[in-house]
Amino acid sequence: MRYRLSATIAVLMLALTACTTISKQELNLLGSSVTPANVDFVELGAYAERSKTAYADESAIRGKYPATVRVSSPDKTEAQYFIERNDKAKVQYIAVRGTANRKNVLEDVEMRIRVDLAIAIPVHVGFDDTARLLYADMKPYLKSGYKTYVTGHSLGGAIAVLIAIYLTEDGYDVSKVVTFGQPKFTTTAGVEKLGFLNLTRVVDENDIVPMLPPTTIVNRAHGIYEHAGPEVILLEGPHYVFLPTHDADRISQGELGRSLGRADLADHHMDNYLKRISDKTGKAVAVAYNDRENYVAKKKLAKK
């Protein structure tokens, strides 16, 4: 399985090498300063634990989160979610499982866009189809009037954001969405309409999945794929970068060559995210994007 997934990533790397880079002058301007932000890594750790647990079986999920009211992997999809609900506090959490196998990795880069009439933004068809299936399955177990928190990893992150959009449209109080290693699911036109979402994207510095689909894929009607929401980039130890806008998307593509040389499936794993977040719960130090190379693990490129 690891060999097949690695081969898939290798193909994606070849596709990504054609991405247009931003100028050195623009990069220096966008990434030269530290943006003040109150990033709560204890809170992010709690979301990360839920995103990881979404990969477990039902008994393990209910064992860790006894307030779980629904665990499901609907027909026609390998995606899984669970709902944890506290009726006394009137809060509910939705966690969505991410990439589980080679089929899902390939789905992460399916390059078709359509305009969904309900949310009126261009969306990745594969993500949208799965999100709709999960949302229809979970709605009977959700409570209106409860503060709702949504999280997910990888493919599950993209689905989590789409579910949050559907929830908002249906009148639910979506308080926060946190994703880990999330691929893009919409285009520039869609991002411009998603300012109502309280979304935080968490990415590992060497995780290639958040760069997908690549900017080489352009839809004539809707433009290029783009990320919504601010980005927290996890570096080694207590260090991290906070980027408040989708400038992170442009910067990452501009620095693509370095990321391709370091990319590894282990960087995309939730265990890696949990460790990186844990390293910052005692003391977290924000650094400028242009200085991040001083806080990135030096990886051996030799084949294992």
Between residues 130 and 11, which one has the greater pLDDT? 130
**pLDDT, mean of residues 113-138:** 83
CA distance 49 to 80: 15
| CATH number, residue 220 | 3.40.50.1820
Residue 302 lies in a domain: no
Number of H helices, E strands in the chain: 12, 14
Residue 169 lies in a domain: yes
Judge whether residue 17 has pLDDT over 50: no
Considering its fold, how many domains does the chain have in total? 1
pLDDT digits (tens, 9 = 90+) for 41-87: 999 999 999 999 999 999 999 999 999 999 999 987 889 999 999 99
The residues that bridge with 150 in the sheet, in sequence order, are 94, 177
Cα angle: 93, vertex 94, 98; to 5 degrees: 140
pLDDT digits (tens, 9 = 90+) for 211-263: 877 766 666 667 788 889 999 999 999 999 998 865 555 555 444 444 555 55
CA distance 194 to 165: 8
* Ramachandran class of 127: left when φ > 0, alpha when ψ lies in -120 to 50, beta otherwise: alpha
Burial 208-247 (b: 16+ CB within 10 A, else e): bbbbbbbbebebeebbbbbbbbbbbbbbeebbbbbbeebb
Residue 72 lies in a domain: yes
Residue 147 lies in a domain: yes
- Confidence at 159, pLDDT banded by 50, 70, 90: very high
Residue 291 lies in a domain: yes
Residue 300 lies in a domain: no
Closest CA to 120 of 217, 189, 215, 223: 189
- The alpha carbon dihedral of 86, 228, 11, 110 has a sign of positive
Residue 182 lies in a domain: yes
CA distance 20 to 215: 8
The lowest-confidence range among 3-12, 83-92, 187-196, 270-279 is 3-12
Classify strands 285-286 and 239-243 as parallel, antiparallel or unpaired.
Answer: parallel
CA distance 185 to 120: 14
pLDDT digits (tens, 9 = 90+) for 164-221: 999 999 999 999 999 999 988 888 888 888 889 999 999 998 888 888 777 666 666 6
Other beta carbons within 10 angstroms of residue 301's beta carbon come to: 8
> Which pTM value belongs to this model?
0.85
Residue 280 lies in a domain: yes
Q: Which domain holds residue 158?
A: 2-295
